Amino acid sequence: MREIDRLMSHYGESHQNKMNVLIHTIAVPSIFFVTLGLVWSIPIPEFMAAMDVTFAHVASIPVLFYYFKLSGPMGAAMTLLIIASFGLIKLLVALDISVWVFCLGLFVVMWILQFVGHHIEGKKPSFFEDLRYLLVGPCWWWGHWFKKMNISY
């Protein structure tokens, strides 16, 4: 069995309840976005600013490497989520909204929702067993879209 299939199957075991799935469908990509936003908000040295590069850009490289190692289609999908996240961050900046304040607030709300979902499910979050599941969550989210479009990952 491929690693992506094993991880997705195990992650899916604690995400069966329809309400928990709905909560995760909203919260997982939101948490991914706000995590990038929080990392983007870390002050950068001048040489990085001159290149318009943040720590979020740097962190995205090994994260994408991991996703592409799991699956080419999943890596491509996660590339789209990262691009969309950076676009939303730039929108917050353009609207003169504090990225770190917005992202911190949404981070807290979305994690509370996640734990409410797992309380409803009656199962603990997968990442309590293995921190890799923090990265698998967005794959699981994409997996729903892939199934609807009849695309294998």
Which tokens in the block code for residue 106? 């949404």
Burial class, 82, CB count within 10 angstroms (exposed 0-12 / middle 13-18 / buried 19+)? buried
Instruction: For residues 9 and 34, give the distance between their C-alpha atoms in angstroms, rounded to a whole number.
Output: 26
Contacts of 151 (CB under 8 A, 6+ apart): 73
At 153 the pLDDT is 86
Instruction: For residues 136 and 28, give the distance between their C-alpha atoms in angstroms, rounded to a whole number.
Output: 10
Neighbours of 77 (CB within 10 A): 21
At 151 the pLDDT is 87
Amino acid sitting at position 104: L
The closest alpha carbon to 21, from 131, 105, 147, belongs to: 147
Q: φ and ψ at 23, to 5 degrees?
A: -60, -45
Query: How large is the C-alpha radius of gyration of the chain?
Result: 16
Sequential pLDDT tens for the chain (153 residues): 899 999 999 999 999 999 999 999 999 999 999 999 999 999 999 999 999 999 999 999 999 999 999 999 999 999 999 999 999 999 999 999 999 999 999 999 999 999 999 999 999 998 998 899 999 999 999 998 898 888 888
Q: Which residue has the tokens 């199957």?
A: 9
Identify whether the C-beta of residue 67 lies closer than 8 Å to the C-beta of residue 74: yes
Tell me the whole-structure pTM to 2 decimals: 0.92
